[in-house]
Amino acid sequence: MKYFTTVNDVHSVKDLVEDALHFKKDPSCLSNFGKNKTLGLIFLNPSLRTRLSTQKAGMNLGMNVMVMNLDKEGWALEFEDGAIMNGNKAEHIKDAAAVIGQYCDIVGIRCFPGLLSRQEDYSEKVLISFMKHCTVPVVSLESATLHPLQSLADLMTIQETWNKPFKPKVVLSWAPHVKALPQAVANSFSEWMVKSSVDFTITHPEGYELNEEYTRGANITTNQHEALEGADYVYVKNWSSYTDYGQINCRDEAWMLTKEKLLGTNQAKIMHCLPVRRNIEISDQLLDGPDSLTLLQASNRVYAAQAVLKKLIDYRIPEGGNVRATIGKEKNFR
């Protein structure tokens, strides 16, 4: 695997989740696998979990890790091909990404959408420019449209907490928020769920339909009460409108997830990628209660990233090699 930017980059989702669960049992099992390899984590936006968990994942594999907040610590970047650079943008992405590729064996990049132009955001201009010009394997640390490291950790969390012989009902439930947020986590969760062995429903207010490219195969309803009936997992997330792009068209507090809303569920587990706006998106009572999986999700980010980095280090090796097959052979790697 050379890129990890969407579920479509993954050869076998099932194997990748198995690898992540294996790393969770034994985080040091391939502690020399990335020796003398450098992971560069480039942030154009804030992060707590993604930054620390991916850094830790790289260290667990023996990698050297460098982190740069490029938006604050680097030069202002120009993305237009052929631009006459006589304004305040000091460095072209062609040069910046190519240079980063000289220092790193794998590059992670976080690049949020501007939420002003749907066409521009959904073209993934920033992510694709990095992929094109840095030339080394790239892992998305959340792009304009998707957050695959989060979704892998989410799927891993569902798998490790589900022990019944039938598919769980998983509901993605829109929640209110004070700010306009990207659709990336919701798009991504949906594209991973529709490829997994779950019964998947999305519920949101009118006008919050996501891009069909990511939701094809999901049940979709604007009736939250109906959606929550029989749910085993409720994943709560705000996103701004995709159709009226980047706008907040609903502030209805009734969409917040509360204990009362869960009466018709199968004592559903509560999920959220964090950071969460407490008592806006989800009540304190649920977040601090025994059915909240939010800390487990955050913890699993390390092992999800570790499984992905392992695949990216591996990318010259024929696909099919998994963590279990590699343990004990790491000295023969290369």
Contact positions vs ligand CP (CB under 6 A) = 47-51, 142, 150, 273-275
| CA 3 vs CA 33, 213, 241: distances in Å | 18, 20, 28
How far is it, in rounded angstroms, from Cα 248 to Cα 181? 9
Contact 64, 43 (CB under 8 A): no
Nearer to ligand CP among residue 48 and residue 327 (C-beta): 48
> Token pair for residue 124?
């993934």
Positive or negative torsion for Cα 148, 152, 158, 163: positive
Which residue has the closest beta carbon to ligand CP?
50
In angstroms, the Cα distances linking 243 to 173, 197, 237 are 18, 29, 17
Rounded CA separation 199/73 (Å): 44
Nearer to ligand CP, 6 or 150 (CB): 150
In whole angstroms, give the CA distance from residue 82 to residue 141. Answer: 28
Residue among 170 and 273 whose Cβ is closer to ligand CP: 273
Least separation in angstroms between residue 44's CB and ligand CP is 12
Shortest spacing between CB 321 and ligand CP, in angstroms: 28
**Residue closer to ligand CP (CB basis): 159 or 300:** 300
Please say whether the beta carbons of 75 and 100 come within 8 A: no
- Tell me how far apart the alpha carbons of residues 234 and 34 are, in angstroms, rounded to a whole number: 36
Strands in 175-301 per DSSP E: 199-203, 219-221, 233-237, 269-271
Complex with ligand CP: residue 77 or 273, whichever CB lies closer: 273
Closest to ligand CP by CB, 92 vs 301, is 301
